[in-house]
Structure 1
Amino acid sequence: MSGTQSEKNWTGNVLVTGASSGIGRATALALAGRGTRVFAACRKQTDAEAVAAEAVTGRIVPLTMDVTDQESIRTACAIVQAATGSDGLDGLVNNAGIGISAPMEVMDLAQLRAIFEVNAFGQIAVIQTFLPLLRPKRGRIINLGSVGARITIPFGGALCGAKAAFTSFNDALRLELKSEGIRVCLIEPGSINTPAVEKTLGGIDQTIARWSEPMQQRYGAAFRRFTTKATAREVRGSRPDVVAEAICHALASKSPKLRYPAGRDARLLATLPRLLPTAVLDSLRLRLFGLTELASTKTP
């Protein structure tokens, strides 16, 4: 971000969810370094305290919150409200998220529901609960989407689907809150090297072992190649700080963008679906992940 001096030293009160690692942690530290008081929300108190201890400014307040637990959200909101008083929040960064890769045919429905609970429904629960704290100062809502919401990849239907749903939620909120002066911005990361890479793409042997024998035969080899390619792309991706800078700009700029593609390949991947016919885009995606055998139609 090449922001103004006021943006670089922007202060206020901001809640960041999913602050234990990766983009959330980088965002909390970047904001604290600018003089912002950050409420760093993590599922585990020890993780939140570790983030707070890392901030040399002492501007991070550790907070325990599980976005899938309404009581946990209400308790966290009460703590933030007591700490901020009539000032309320200047910003809310919805970053908490989880992911899993698998063929749609073998996707465990309980895991699929869990991904939507965290990545979509949990985010709305947080927004609904904290909106009263944002209204006094017309605070901003910064939602973490993904370029995957625009360009779904094979074996990524669960995460891309949840992010696509959250993108629609984001757009509705932006329109509904515009008259109140509450800006709603969407951050769309591309390839980012974070600890989430291992959580989302790791454990391939264990994942395949849980499938039935026919499903292992049908998808196993292709899924292994996809995982190898996808992991390599993410490891070569941008640092989380790149996304944190985009978030800081969205919070502090007088004229924030509605959407912020951020990180390696983000702009390219966001643009390709608008330029290429679907059939061409399908072929490109399959080749990208070494899945050319899936591009041919098999005859009985």
Structure 2
Amino acid sequence: MDILQNIKSMSLNQFLSLQVFEGVYVLALAFLPFLLAFRVVAYIILSGIALTTIVIGYKLLTMRLVNPKGKVVLITGCDSGFGNACARRLNAAGYTVVAGCLDDMSEGAQSLKEMANGHMIVLKLDITDAESVENCATKLKAVCDGRGLWCLLNNAGVCSFGDFELSSLNMYRHVMEVNVFGTLSITKACLPLLRAGKGRVVNLTGSTGLLSPPGHSPFSMSQFCLEAFNDSLRVEMAPFNVSVIAVRPGNFFGATAMLNRAGLERLQNSFEDMKSGSQADVISDYGEDFLDKQYSQFSELSKSTAGSLAKVIDAIGDAVGNSKPSSQYLVDGGNQLIDIGNILVRCRPFLPTSLHDCLVSRLYRNKTSLNGRP
């Protein structure tokens, strides 16, 4: 209990400093034998580590947090996952949080209502419904009371998986309608308030907005669209002092509703629909057990995911509360030492396409084969 209380009492600077120290410590242990064997290389690596530590330390020491008092934040998709966790974090920090929930009677919405303390407002919001978006904008205007909106956190979204030839076009339409056009709709409604408040738009995309693995194209296409939207809007809003920020979680699928137990059940049902809805010759070419193997692959991916949302929530907290936030956050996930998917994202510009495709295939398709062929 004492350890937990100490963690809760840490400031953000202290917490980040501790993370940097632990990272440098682990790197030092990992490279110690190598460094002892090659002295020149050791000097170069240690100099790089020292320079990185100085830069990070400078950023931490010069970081300034905004005063949350009177600042209104709208978060979409607060029924569960990142949205629900962010609503809790920002409410505790002192922001006035308008938590948009698709179902305002859901378990997640009810839990937010129970902690309502004058800073938390739970609102029914369907970003694909024009009337719901208009009602939200009207409510926001009243809550802001002439101060403008400080932040819009675009978190609401859905995901679907499956190879293109086996997936229906309606699946793609649904994902794009929610993730892309829904996000555009609520953003457009909020921009006048954001310009008035000189606030910021935080778009939660993902590493799948930079890397589209096999079987992910419905979801990845929507994330690539949001990345393009993010880049354009950032430049368009700069003259109004409105920041536009992308937060890209890595392997956190199993820690959210995407590939948790309920998400995997939905995925299995979706694969059954694909199997029954595809032509017999297509299923024969892919193999009768192709979708079963693919489901197993997604199940393994969910097991390798990060066990906590904390890293993403910290990044979003910095995007919302830092007076000079970064324009892009790529957050490593997974339960291993490194997030391999994010490593592939970072290495992509430097690798031949054939090599990159091979690595992606090994990571995301090592158990899936086409009609018995690897």
With the length of structure 1 as denominator, give the TM-score of the two structures.
0.90
Give the alignment of 1:238-253 within 5 angstroms: 238=306, 239-253=308-322
Is 1:17 matched up with 2:84? no
**Alpha carbons 2:199, 2:243 under 8 Å: kept:** yes
Partner of 1:230: 298
Q: Distance between the aligned counterparts of 1:190 and 1:36, measured in 2?
A: 27
Distance 1:76 1:235, change over 3 A: farther
**Alpha carbons 1:94, 1:143 under 8 Å: kept:** yes
- Which aligned segments of 4 or more residues in structure 1 are displaced greater than 6 angstroms? 3-6
Distance 1:292 1:121, change over 3 A: same
Give the alignment of 1:113-152 within 5 angstroms: 113-152=173-212
What does the per-residue CA deviation read over 1:208-253, in whole Å, with 9 as the maximum and x for residues that have no partner? Answer: 3333322333335333323322332234322223212111100111
Gaps of 5+ in 2: 1-11, 17-59, 334-338
1:113: how far off? 0.8
Q: Which of 342, 346, 368 is residue 271 of structure 1 equivalent to? A: 346
Give the alignment of 1:25-174 within 5 angstroms: 25-47=84-106, 49-53=109-113, 55=115, 57=117, 59-174=119-234
Q: Distance between the aligned counterparts of 1:285 and 1:78, measured in 2?
A: 46
Distance 1:89 1:51, change over 3 A: farther
The one-letter amino acid of 1:27's match is C
Q: Distance between the aligned counterparts of 1:191 and 1:281, measured in 2?
A: 18
Bigger CA radius of gyration: 2
Partner of 2:26: none
What does the per-residue CA deviation read over 1:33-86, in whole Å, with 9 as the maximum and x for residues that have no partner? Answer: 111111110111213641423537553211111111111100111011112210
Q: Distance between the aligned counterparts of 2:190 and 2:268, measured in 1?
A: 34
Q: Distance between the aligned counterparts of 2:289 and 2:323, measured in 1?
A: 50
Partner of 1:255: 324
Q: Distance between the aligned counterparts of 2:165 and 2:78, measured in 1?
A: 33
Is 1:7 matched up with 2:51? no
Structure 2 residue matching 1:46: 3-state secondary structure: coil
1:153: how far off? 0.7
What percent of counterpart residues are identical?
26
**Alpha carbons 1:40, 1:51 under 8 Å: kept:** no
Gaps of 5+ in 1: none
- RMSD of aligned alpha carbons: 2.5
Higher relative contact order (CA 8 A, sep 6+): 1
1:26: how far off? 0.9
Is 1:190 matched up with 2:266? no
What does the per-residue CA deviation read over 1:262-288, in whole Å, with 9 as the maximum and x for residues that have no partner? Answer: 141264242031232111111111111
- What is the aligned residue count? 297
Partner of 2:357: 282
